[in-house]
Chain A
C-alpha cells in the first residue's frame, strides 16, 4: 500500500510538471527508453543534464561579468543548454534559452542579463522538481526490493 501511495505521489508530481510546462513530450521519450535492462536511464540523463546545465550557467555568468561581452561565446553556451534541455524535455528552460539567443543576436547586454536570470530561475525550479522525482523513485525501488526479499 505504501508503494501505491508513493507511485501516486510520483504520478501527481509528473502530471504537475507537464501541466506547468516544465516538461514536454520529449521527456516521455526518455521514460519510454527506461526498462528493466536500463532501470536508471532517466536518472542518468537527468543527472548529466543538471551537471552540464550548472557548468554552463557558471560560464554564462562569467561571460556576462566581463566589461566587453563576447556574444559569440555567450551564444555558443546558450546553444548548448538549449540543445540539452530540448533533448531531455525541459521545455521552460529551452524556451528561456530561445529568448536568450535572441538577445545575444541583438548584442543586448541588459537583455542577456535578464534572460540569464530567467534561465536560472527555470532551471533551478526544474532541478528542485527533478530531485523530488528521483527521491520518490528511489523510495519506490527500495520499497519494492524490500517486498521481494
Chain B
C-alpha cells in the first residue's frame, strides 16, 4: 500500500501524547485523524470514515478503549485496532484482545514501535 495514502485514527485523550504521536506518524509519512475519547472515535466510524489502522488508548473519559473497540467491531469494522496502554500487563492485553483488538503497544510510543506496527499490517510508511 502506498504510504502517502495510509490513514491512521489515533484515539487518545492526552493532548501531549497526541502531539508526540502526530509528529512521529508525520515522520513516517502517515496521514492521521484524532479523537480524544472512544465515543468520538465510534462516531467517526458511524459517519462512514475509514482508516487503515486504529491506535486505541485504554483509559479515556466518556468511553474507554475497550468499549470503543467493542462498538467498532459490532459496527462491522475490520480495520486492525492496536491497543495502547501505559501498562504491559498480560491482563490488560487479554482484555483488549477480548474486546476485539488485534494487537497491543505499550506507551510511550516511539518511531521504532510505530514503524514496526505499520510494517506488520502491511502499511508501507515510505520511510
Interface residues of A (CB under 8 A from B): 26, 29-30, 32-33, 38, 41, 44-45, 48-49, 52, 76, 79-80, 82-84, 86-89
Q: Does B89 contact A (CB under 8 A)?
A: no
A83 and B24 contact, Cβ closer than 8 Å, known pairs A29-B111, A45-B19: no
Dominant secondary structure at the A interface: helix
Q: Does B16 contact A (CB under 8 A)?
A: yes
Query: How many angstroms from the CA of A38 to the CA of B23 in the assembled complex?
Result: 10
Query: How many angstroms from the CA of A86 to the CA of B109 in the assembled complex?
Result: 9
B86 near A83: Cβ-Cβ < 8 Å: yes
Interface residues of B (CB under 8 A from A): 13-17, 19-20, 23-24, 27, 59, 61, 86, 107-111
Task: Quote the shortest CB–CB distance from B30 to chain A (angstroms).
Answer: 14
Task: Quote the shortest CB–CB distance from A44 to chain B (angstroms).
Answer: 7
Contact partner, A84, options B16, B23, B24, B111, Cβ 8 Å? B16
Contact partner, B19, options A26, A44, A80, A89, Cβ 8 Å? A44
- CB-CB nearest in chain A for B27: A33
A41 near B59: Cβ-Cβ < 8 Å: no
